[in-house]
Amino acid sequence: MSAATIAGMAKRGYSREFKPHGDTGKRYLLDDIPAGLWASVRDTCKREGVSIRALILRLLKDWIESHGKGQG
């Protein structure tokens, strides 16, 4: 992900870019994230002023688009 993409992402807080439609938003719990990786992500997001939620959703969206699929 480019620096320009990260700079344009939602600043900390709730991202308006990824709003669930009605009551269809889903939750997913990801456990056993390596502590060092999570600390690095958290610290980098804090330093860049980017919400972790927006970062994860952007990564997922970019990955799906790179496989030629639209948003489901």
pTM score of the predicted model = 0.66
* pLDDT, tens only, 48-71: 999 898 899 899 999 999 998 765
Write the DSSP assignment of the chain as a string of letters: --HHHHHTSPBSS--STT--STT-----------HHHHHHHHHHHHHHTB-HHHHHHHHHHHHHHHTT----
In a domain, 11, yes or no: no
Domain count, the chain: 1
Mean pLDDT of all residues belonging to the chain = 80
How would residue 16 be classed by pLDDT, with cut points 50, 70 and 90? Answer: low
Q: Is residue 39 part of a domain?
A: yes
Report whether pLDDT(7) > 70: no
| Domain interval for residue 58 | 32-72
More reliable by pLDDT, 21 or 38: 38
